[in-house]
Amino acid sequence: MGNVNLPTPVVIAAGVIVFAGGYLTGAVTGWDSPDRTTAVVSSYDAKTHRLCLKSDAVSDLAGAEGNTICGQWERVSGSALPAVGDDFRFVSSVTKGQSGTADDRVSIFGEVAD
């Protein structure tokens, strides 16, 4: 095999094209991030961190009953505690229980909306 020398601008352009192609492929075929939903706080127990949120948008979420979802609030230290009537921006996750839906665990990750 002989030596092949390419001009520097051609090598740089090829690198940019490869990088951009990889980025676009990842952006198009990558995982979807969860949609954040906004709801109104209907109750919060500070001792158990059980949070209930109510909104029409909640009815489509896993673990919701009607337009209400209740679960364990997983929060960042120092975040504002929710009060009844506060707007709350969140994502939720359901961990399936071993003996059916009775022991499913709903986790709510979010914070009081400004």
Q: Could you tell me if residue 76 is inside a domain?
A: yes
Residue 3 lies in a domain: no
pLDDT in tens, 85-109: 999 888 888 887 655 555 568 888 8
16, part of any domain: no
Which residues face 40 on adjacent strands? 54, 87
Comparing 50 with 2, which gets the higher pLDDT?
50
Look at the chain and report how many structural domains it folds into.
1
For residue 32, the model assigns a pLDDT of 56
What's residue 18's pLDDT? 84
Binned at pLDDT 50, 70 and 90, residue 11 comes out as confident
- 11 within a domain of the structure (yes/no): no
Query: Which residues make Cβ contacts (< 8 Å) with residue 22, sequence separation at least 6?
Result: none
Assigned domain for 17 exists? no
Q: Tell me the per-residue pLDDT of 38-75, one tens digit each, with 9 for 90 and over.
A: 889 999 998 988 999 998 888 888 878 889 989 899 88
CATH of the domain at 75: 2.40.50
Place of tokens 């949070």: 51
65: in domain: yes
45 in any annotated domain: yes
Higher pLDDT, 18 or 5: 18
